[in-house]
Amino acid sequence: MSNTNYFINGLKTQNEKVILEIYTNSYPNVRRFVLQNSGQEQDAQDVFQKAIIQIMARVQVQNVVIKSTFDGFLFTACKNLWRRELNKSKRMVTFDQPIELKVEANDMAQSVLEQERWEFFQEKLELISGNCKEILKRFFKKMPYKDIAKELDYSDDNVVRQRVFKCKNKLTQMIKEDNRYNQLKTL
C-alpha cells in the first residue's frame, strides 16, 4: 500500500497514530510556508488543522483520488487555505457596529469546493498537449513572455502571446465540455 493510501485510510478511520504521523511529517513545511507569507505560528496551526479536517470530511463522503504524494496534496490544500485567508484579510473592513461572523461550516464547505475546483483544473491542464502545458505553467507563474520565449526557444514574445491565447482557449474548451464543470461552477 502506498503512503498516500495509508494516510487516506488513516484519515478515513480517524486513526490517531496515522494523524500524528501526518502532523509530524507534513506540518513543518506548512509552518515554514505560512511564516514566510505573513503568518504567525497560530495561523500555521489553524490552516493545517482546517486542511486535515477538510480532507477527513472529503474522504468520508467520496473516493478521493490523489495523483501526487499525500504530502503534496495536503500542502496544496494548506497553501490554498492560507492564500484565501490572506485575501480575506485584505478585504476586511472595520465597522463600528457588531456584525455576524460567517459560520465555520460554510467556510469549510467553500474551502472544499475551492480545492475540488483546483484539482479539476489541474486534471484538465495535464490533458492538453505537452507544449501548451509548458507554456501555460510558465504563464500561470506570471513569467514574462520574453522569458518564456527564451526558455522554450520561440523566436519572440509575440509568438508566445499567440500560443498562450490558443492554449488558454483549448484549456477553457476542455474544461467547459466536461460535465463536472457546471456542477463546480454553480456550487
Mean pLDDT of the region 45-74: 84
22-31 pLDDT per residue, tens: 999 999 999 9
Name the average pLDDT for the chain. 81
For residue 59, name the pLDDT band (cuts at 50, 70, 90).
confident
Q: Which three cell numbers stand for residue 90?
A: 485584505
How many CA atoms are closer than 13 Å to the CA of 186, on its beta-carbon side?
Answer: 6
Cβ(70)–Cβ(7) below 8 Å: yes
90-143 pLDDT per residue, tens: 654 454 555 444 545 566 666 666 777 777 777 888 888 888 888 988 888 888
Task: Specify the 3-state DSSP secondary structure of 66.
Answer: coil
What length is written for the chain? Answer: 187
- The residue type at 5: N
14: left (phi over 0), alpha (psi -120 to 50) or beta: left
pTM of this prediction? 0.55
